[in-house]
Amino acid sequence: MNVSCARYRVPMHLFNAFCLTLLLSVFSVFPAIAQNADTPHPALKDGQIVLIRHAYAPGGGDPDNFTLGQCATQRNLNETGREQARHIGQWFRNQSVAVAQVLSSQWCRCMETATLAFPNQVTDAPEFNSFFSNRQTEAMQTQRALVRFARWDGPGLMVVVTHQVNITALTGIVPKSGEGIVVEYKNGAVQVVERLDFGFH
């Protein structure tokens, strides 16, 4: 069977092969577009807050001899985590909305994530410290976080580098290491807008 096209007659097997090649070429473009970390993200707007779980730090929890301010006693980023943090910073520098304020838990893995991503912008914020080992402080810290959110309306973005337990308490989401959650604080509640993988999850 042949397919007529204007003045030409094309054998069906050649026509089918051409169509298949064309389709594969088209679909192969989409993953590259979706995974392009240099493309500005449409969800970001002035006045939003981005919660980020600290970058990858092997293990879970903290050692028994954990001491605030002494990184040698804590679970820290490895080189993979440091590279994630630098990548997060570059991702934000490629966006059309600027990062205006950066807050971080005082835990070393959060401070290092924040500092590598946003040099010279980081302020420590105890309300975002981990309560993984002391759940009695969860309600108090979460309320203080909400008070901080209520005071923020931009311009630009507020970025908060914190822990899984804190993000889960605020949003109900259990994030991966180095994952971001875009939120807005409206009518006394945190509203989740988008999850961000920054192109490396």
Cα angle vertex 11, ends 6, 15, to 5°? Answer: 80
**Domains with residue ranges and CATH for the chain:** 2-34 (no CATH), 49-196 (3.40.50.1240)
Please give the radius of gyration of the chain, using alpha carbons only, rounded to the nearest integer.
23
Residue 160: band (very low, low, confident or very high) from pLDDT cuts 50, 70, 90: very high
Determine the pLDDT at residue 133.
Answer: 87
Contact 74, 107 (CB under 8 A): yes
- pLDDT at residue 139 tops 80: yes
Determine the pLDDT at residue 199.
Answer: 87
> pTM above 0.75?
yes
Residue (of 71, 156, 158) closest to 111 by Cα position: 71
Q: Which residue has the tokens 């991503």?
A: 117
Q: What is the pLDDT of residues 111-138, one digit of tens each?
A: 999 999 999 999 999 999 999 988 899 9
Q: What is the pLDDT of residues 18-27, one digit of tens each?
A: 444 444 343 3
Determine the pLDDT at residue 47.
Answer: 97
CA-CA distance, 84 to 87, in Å (whole number)?
5
Question: Mean of the pLDDT values across residues 11-38?
Answer: 42
Contact 51, 195 (CB under 8 A): no
- pLDDT at residue 45 tops 50: yes
